[in-house]
């Protein structure tokens, strides 16, 4: 066990409130909770502890966007048993990242060191506040034995998606607008059976938590946050009571300082500097999805036929250990593709600075899997989305983006998820988003929503007030 925790020299408790953040070991979760750590650490007299393994802490720090250093965050690096980390299967019909299940299961071994950390912090501070990912409830469950500890659950998905999940699980306790249910994707094919069992165990451990935190904001999902707070929604004790909840998003920065071309560190940003405003499509499917060779070729042909400029992040899904050296597959593109699109498109085969790409004035659209982290980043930067969901919460996130917020379009219906998306469909979707009146309308709505989000982040804005409210709650006497 390695830790940079420094103990108080005297035996008396300090008057400090400490926050212990426990993320789930997957990129989107690690990233969101490290960004939240930075937001909380910006307040005076609050010590923040970020708890994971050495590998996942390093992964989070290297990949986070918008934060250059973490001087006020204490990183704790605990060990878990080694596990076999298989490569993702690009030909799997179900795109849920089952190859990461050994890493997910291994995280349960964090319970003992986390318990010891909480006990130590409890003895030396006025209050210990645990913020745990909803998929890490079993790891932090021992906080209930401490007299001055409380826990809050972080949900990494949209309020819309979470509400529907809970509403259905509670047997639809009240009526909702029937339009919300029209063409709503089923959960079939969203998860593996192993992960469904894993989720049930973790959700059963949240019954003693004091509230919920979301990476969203009321200007984006106000109606669904209101639905989540209805007294008819029950907690895991099956007692009808309202839990406290806060919409603290977006966690990511919403503005970036202007950079000169010679100070940019990534080739795609230098290339974007030379393009016209709103002229480039950003293509990325996150860290948990690998496409088949056949699908990659169809996508490449479709992008080329669309005639639109693009930045395409072309890489396989993460393994459980993203730093492990292995023989990655050689992703083949159509013969001569890179030469033919030279000047029109650029390929990125390593980690890409997504937030900076989305914030760039040349970026006018995002072809995305609709993971919630990517959705929030795209919404906050005013970029519309061509939605191509793969698994988990993504199919229902795509409904929020395309049907409710109307800032995107669907590339492939969830009901046809097992079908190959042909190049002609890719071409039509890209052209509609990037070069049509309807696409311009989506872009305008996305930009207006981005303006409202930036207002909410400013002093006196609703997000800022919610964050202040949460800090007041955890620092209360």
In the block, residue with structure tokens 């071409």: 427
Distance CA 201, CA 188 (A): 20
CA dihedral 266, 270, 276, 282 (to 10 degrees): -20
In the block, residue with structure tokens 């030469």: 339
DSSP code at position 78: -
In the block, residue with structure tokens 């919403």: 254
Distance CA 340, CA 322 (A): 32
Three-class secondary structure of residue 75 per DSSP: strand
Sign of CA dihedral 316, 320, 97, 285: negative
Which of 163, 202, 152 has its CA nearest to residue 25?
A: 202
Q: How many CB atoms lie within 10 A of CB 434?
A: 24
Sign of CA dihedral 262, 267, 269, 271: positive
* Beta-sheet pairing, 73-77 with 127-133: unpaired
Q: Name the catalytic one among 29, 49, 74, 369.
A: 29
Q: Name the catalytic one among 49, 133, 318, 393.
A: 133
Contacts of 38 (CB under 8 A, 6+ apart): 67, 70, 73
Q: How far is CA 28 from the centre of its chain?
A: 4
Q: How far is CA 35 from the centre of its chain?
A: 11
Distance CA 43, CA 58 (A): 24
What token pair was written down for 153? 């659950």
* Beta-sheet pairing, 345-348 with 385-387: unpaired
In the block, residue with structure tokens 């401490």: 146
Helix locations, 284-353, DSSP H: 293-306, 337-340
DSSP code at position 270: H
245 close to 213: Cβ distance less than 8 angstroms: yes
| Rg over CA atoms, the chain | 22
Residue 250: asked if its preceding bond is cis (omega within 30°), the reply is: yes
User: E strands of 238-307, at which residues?
Assistant: 244-247, 280-284
Q: Does residue 29 have an active-site annotation? A: yes
Query: Any idea which residues carry the catalytic annotation?
Result: 29, 133
């Amino acid at each position: 066990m390695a830790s940079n925790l420094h103990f108080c020299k005297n035996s008396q408790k300090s008057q400090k409130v400490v926050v212990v953040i426990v993320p789930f070991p997957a990129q989107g979760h690690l990233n969101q909770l490290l960004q939240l750590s930075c937001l909380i650490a910006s307040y005076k007299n609050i010590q923040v502890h970020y708890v994971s393994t050495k590998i996942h802490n390093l992964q989070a720090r290297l990949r986070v966007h918008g934060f250059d250093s973490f001087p006020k965050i204490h990183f704790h690096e605990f060990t878990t048993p080694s596990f076999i980390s298989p490569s993702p299967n690009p030909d799997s019909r179900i795109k849920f990242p089952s190859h990461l299940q050994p890493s997910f299961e291994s995280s349960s071994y964090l319970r003992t060191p986390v318990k010891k950390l909480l006990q130590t912090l409890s003895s030396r501070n006025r209050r210990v506040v645990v913020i745990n990912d909803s998929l890490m409830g079993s790891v932090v469950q021992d906080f209930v034995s401490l007299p001055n500890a409380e826990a809050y659950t972080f949900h990494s998905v949209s309020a819309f998606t979470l509400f529907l999940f809970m509403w259905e699980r509670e047997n639809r306790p009240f009526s909702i607008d029937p339009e919300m249910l029209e063409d709503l994707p089923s959960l079939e094919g969203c998860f593996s059976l192993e992960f469904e069992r894993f989720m049930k165990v973790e959700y059963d451990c949240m019954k003693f938590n004091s509230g919920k935190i979301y990476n969203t904001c009321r200007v984006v999902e106000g109606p669904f946050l209101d639905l989540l707070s209805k007294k008819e929604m029950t907690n895991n004790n099956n007692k009808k009571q309202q839990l406290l909840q806060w919409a603290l998003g977006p966690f990511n920065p919403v503005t970036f300082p202007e950079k000169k071309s010679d100070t940019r560190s990534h080739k795609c940003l230098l290339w974007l500097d030379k393009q016209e405003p709103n002229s480039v499509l950003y293509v990325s499917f996150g860290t948990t999805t690998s496409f088949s060779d056949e699908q990659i070729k169809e996508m490449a042909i479709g992008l080329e036929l669309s005639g639109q400029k693009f930045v395409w992040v072309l890489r396989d899904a993460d393994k459980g250990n993203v730093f492990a050296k292995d023989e990655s597959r050689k992703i083949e593109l159509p013969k001569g593709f890179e030469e033919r699109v030279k000047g029109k498109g650029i390929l990125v085969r390593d980690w890409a600075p997504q937030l900076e790409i989305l914030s760039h004035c040349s970026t006018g659209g995002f072809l995305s899997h609709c993971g919630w982290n990517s959705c929030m980043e795209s919404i906050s930067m005013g970029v519309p989305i061509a939605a191509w969901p793969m698994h988990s919460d993504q199919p229902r996130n795509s409904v929020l983006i395309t049907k409710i917020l109307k800032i995107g379009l669907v590339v492939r219906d969830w009901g046809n998820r097992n079908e190959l998306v042909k190049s002609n469909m890719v071409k039509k979707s890209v052209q509609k988003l990037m070069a049509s009146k309807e696409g311009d309308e989506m872009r305008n709505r996305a930009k207006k929503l981005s303006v409202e989000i930036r207002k909410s982040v400013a002093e006196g804005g609703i997000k800022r007030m919610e964050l202040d409210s949460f800090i007041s709650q955890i620092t209360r006497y």
